[in-house]
Amino acid sequence: MSDAVCWKCGRLTLAPVAVRYVERASGPGVTLYACPDCAPRLTPGPLPAEMIPPVRG
């Protein structure tokens, strides 16, 4: 995984953790990343894998 900017503290981190998925009306959703320091303090939000509706048979 490449580096990313932590959306919480704004620092560049080499080990980003996907913490939230934000849907945008104007385009595709974006995944927000946090650094390992901030990730444990953030309330987990929906991730892309969790946005898939359950399959009902």
Burial class for 9, CB neighbours closer than 10 Å (0-12, 13-18, 19+): exposed
Q: Which is nearer to Zn ion, 1 or 25 (CB)?
A: 1
Beta carbon nearer to Zn ion, 8 or 20? 8
Distance CA 53, CA 10 (A): 32
Residues between 16 and 55 that touch Zn ion (CB under 5 A):
35, 38
Among 8, 18, 21, 42, binds Zn ion (CB under 5 A): 8
Q: List contacts with Zn ion (CB under 5 A).
A: 6, 8-9, 35, 38
